[in-house]
Copies of this chain bind each other. A is one copy, B any other.
Amino acid sequence: MKLNDRKLKILQAIIHSYITSAEPVGSRAISKKYELGVSPATIRNEMADLEELGFLTQPYTSAGRIPSDKAYRLYVNGLLQRERKIMKEKEGMKKLLAQEIGEIEKLLQNSAKILSKITNYTSLAIAPQVKESKLKHIQLVPVDETKILVVIVTESGLVKNAILRVDNNLTTNHLNRISNFLNSKLKGHNIANLRNEIEDNLIKEMYKFKNTIDSIIPLVNQTLDSHKGDSLYSEGVTNIFDFPEYSDIEKAKAFLSFIENRDSVLDMLINTGFNDIEIRIGEENNYEEIKDCSLITATYRFNGKTIGKIGVIGPTRMEYSKVISVVRSLALVLSEIADGDKYKIYLK
C-alpha cells in the first residue's frame, strides 16, 4: 500500500488536530475542520489504511485515531527538510539574554527560562563539560593561613573554584609564582589530561613547591567531577501539568521524578547525538520513564566546537514546528554569544 498524497494530507491533519486538542481524532472532525474535499467515509477508509501502515493507533475499538511515534517522525522529517526561516524571535532572544552579565552558567539558566516560557514545555540546558574543555587560566588565590583557592577558567568560558588546604603558609608572592608557572605549562591543554602533563614536566622545575603542586591536580580533578551535576539547568517542569496526558498523577510523578534526578537527565542529554538538532520521539528515547515524551535538543558551539546543549521535553504530541525553530534559534544565539566576536553583547 502506498502513502499517497491524500493519505499524507489526512495524516497531517490528524497530527495537527491531535497536537492542539489531545483528543483522539475522528473522521467527521477532520472532514469538517480541514478542507480536503472528501467525505468522512472516505477519510475513514484512508484512516484504516494509515492504521494498517502503523501511522495511527486506536485507544479502543470505536474511538478516534491517535498518531503513532512513526507518524510524528514522518511529520518531523518533513519539517526538517523545509528550509527553516530565521526566526524573528532570535533578535528578541538576544536582547533578553544580552541583559545578562556574568558567566556562562547564568546565561544558560536564562536560556532555559526563556525556552520554557516561549514553548510552554519543560526546558533543559547543559553547560560545557569542563573535562572536555581546555584550560585558559589557572590562578591560586590566598584565602587565609591554611586555605588557598584555585580558580580555573576554561576556553569555553567556564569558571570553577576549588578550595585547597595547605600546611605550609604560602605568601601571595609564592602563589603568584606558582600560578604563573602552572599557566605557562598548562594553558591550552585539555583538562582531562592535566595529571599526565604535570607529572612529566612540573615537579622537577618547581621542586620547592612540589607538595602544593602535587595536591592541586587531584583536587582540581575531584572538583570538576563533583561539579558535573551543576551543569544542568531545567525550567518549567510544572508546565507538564498543563497537558491532559499528565492529568494522571502517576504519570506526572514519573515525569517529574525523572527530571528531578539530575544525573540521569544529564546522561540523557550527553548521550543524544551532537547533530545540529536532535529529535527523540516517544519510544526512540532510551529512558523508560519518558517513553511517551519527545525530546528536542540543539547544540551550541564555540569556535565551531560543540560545547553544550539546550532542549525541550514534552509529550509526543508536541508542537514540533514551533519548538524546533525556537530551540534551533536559541542555540544559534548562544553560539554567537559564546563566540568571541559577539561576547561584548552580554558583557555590556
Contacts and interface: CB of A to CB of B under 8 A. Distances in A.
Contact of A141 (B153, B163, B236, B253): B153
Interface of A: 100-103, 106, 136-137, 139, 141-144, 147, 149, 151, 153, 159, 161-163, 165, 172, 176, 180, 219, 222-223, 226-227, 236-238, 241, 247, 249, 252-253, 256-257, 260, 343-344, 347-348
Contact of A102 (B143, B153, B159, B163): B163
A206 to B, nearest CB: 18
Given A142-B137, A165-B347, A253 B226 contact: no
A222 B101 contact: yes
Given A144-B136, A180-B172, A249-B249, A165 B102 contact: no
Q: How many copies of this protein are present in the complex?
A: 2
Nearest to A144: B136
Nearest to A172: B180
A34 B265 CA distance: 47
A62 to B, nearest CB: 28
Contacts of A236: 260
13 contacts: A102-B223, A102-B226, A102-B227, A137-B149, A141-B153, A143-B153, A149-B151, A159-B163, A165-B348, A238-B253, A241-B252, A241-B253, A249-B249
A237 B252 contact: no
Nearest to A246: B249
Contacts of A247: 249
Contacts of A103: 161, 163
Given A139-B141, A141-B153, 7 more contacts: A102-B223, A106-B226, A137-B142, A141-B141, A151-B161, A159-B161, A165-B348
7 closest A-B pairs by CB: A241-B253, A139-B141, A165-B347, A159-B161, A238-B257, A238-B256, A238-B260
Contact of A162 (B102, B139, B161): B102
Contacts of A226: 100-102, 106
A260 B237 contact: yes
